[in-house]
């Protein structure tokens, strides 16, 4: 009697082959998931560092541009290590007009920088008044020492660190010189 199952070809998969294929599938799946998670981590890091860098550059550019277009500026320390910077600056427009711009660095908490623009003198704000100013940067600390602004004559230097979450901080270092000697009757400080 002939066995009908022994036709010379084996149908199906052995248990060992099934285990090998399953192990390969697990390894490949682990690699794909690892690459995906690594990509997500990189995207988050780039986003946080870019956001911190962009905001810090906007602050530095705002201060530098306005100081360069100013006739004079005043830098003071109203409370503790807080700093108040105010400048009389040329305003953009068809005719030359003057305005006052100010930045307030509050060292409290993680450190913040506020901005205000006015056609009248700007005095150091109280905490209640500061709440009405525009918040332009938070999580800011001095790059060294306790000050982010330093003045020498008509030159202003900025050195600060903008935090980027859990990633390395962004360091900003810049300076600008006021164009002293312009005329006008607006007093900003």
Residue 125 is assigned to a structural domain of this protein: yes
**Tokens 């503790």, residue located:** 80
Residue 115 is assigned to a structural domain of this protein: yes
Residue 36 is assigned to a structural domain of this protein: no
Residue 107 is assigned to a structural domain of this protein: yes
Residue 130 is assigned to a structural domain of this protein: yes
Structural domain span for residue 54: 44-177
Alpha carbons 129 and 108: distance in angstroms, whole number: 16
52-61, 62-71, 129-138, 180-189: which range is least confident on average?
180-189
Alpha carbons 141 and 103: distance in angstroms, whole number: 15
Strands (E), the chain: 70-76, 83-91, 97-106, 112-118, 134-138, 140-142, 149-152, 155-164, 167-177
Q: What's the structural domain count of the chain?
A: 1
Give the pLDDT band of residue 102 (cuts 50, 70, 90).
Answer: very high
Alpha carbons 71 and 180: distance in angstroms, whole number: 4
Residue 93, phi-psi category: left (phi > 0), alpha (psi -120 to 50), beta (remainder): left
Residue 148 is assigned to a structural domain of this protein: yes
Average pLDDT of the residues of the chain = 87
- Rg of the chain over Cα atoms, rounded to whole angstroms, equals 31
Sign for the CA dihedral angle at 47, 55, 174, 109 comes to negative
Backbone angles phi, psi at 46, to 5 degrees: -60, -40
Q: What pLDDT digit, counting tens, does each position of 45-99 carry?
A: 888 888 888 888 999 999 999 999 898 899 999 989 999 999 998 887 788 888 9
Residue 95 is assigned to a structural domain of this protein: yes
Q: Following CA atoms 77, 78, 79, 84 in sequence, which dihedral angle do they give, to the nearest 10 degrees?
A: -60
Alpha helices in 3-116 (DSSP H): 15-68
Residue 94, phi-psi category: left (phi > 0), alpha (psi -120 to 50), beta (remainder): alpha
On the CB side of 74, CA atoms within 13 Å amount to: 16
Residue 77 is assigned to a structural domain of this protein: yes
């Amino acid at each position: 009697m002939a066995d009908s199952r022994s036709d010379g070809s084996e149908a199906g998969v052995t248990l060992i082959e099934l285990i090998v294929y399953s192990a390969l599938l697990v390894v490949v799946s682990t690699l794909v998931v690892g690459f995906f998670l690594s990509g997500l981590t990189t995207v988050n890091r780039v986003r946080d560092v870019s956001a911190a860098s962009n905001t810090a550059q906007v602050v530095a550019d705002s201060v530098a541009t306005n100081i360069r277009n100013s006739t004079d500026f005043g830098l003071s320390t109203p409370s503790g290590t807080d700093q108040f910077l105010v400048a009389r600056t040329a305003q953009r427009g068809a005719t030359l007009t003057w305005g006052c711009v100010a930045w307030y660095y509050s060292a409290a908490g993680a450190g913040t920088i506020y901005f205000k623009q006015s056609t009248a003198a700007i005095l150091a704000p109280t905490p209640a008044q500061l709440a009405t100013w525009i918040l332009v940067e938070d999580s800011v600390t001095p790059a060294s020492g306790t000050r982010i602004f330093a003045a020498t004559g008509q030159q202003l230097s900025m050195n600060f660190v903008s935090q980027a979450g859990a990633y390395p901080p962004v360091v900003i270092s810049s300076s600008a010189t006021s164009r002293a000697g312009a005329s006008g009757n607006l007093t900003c400080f």
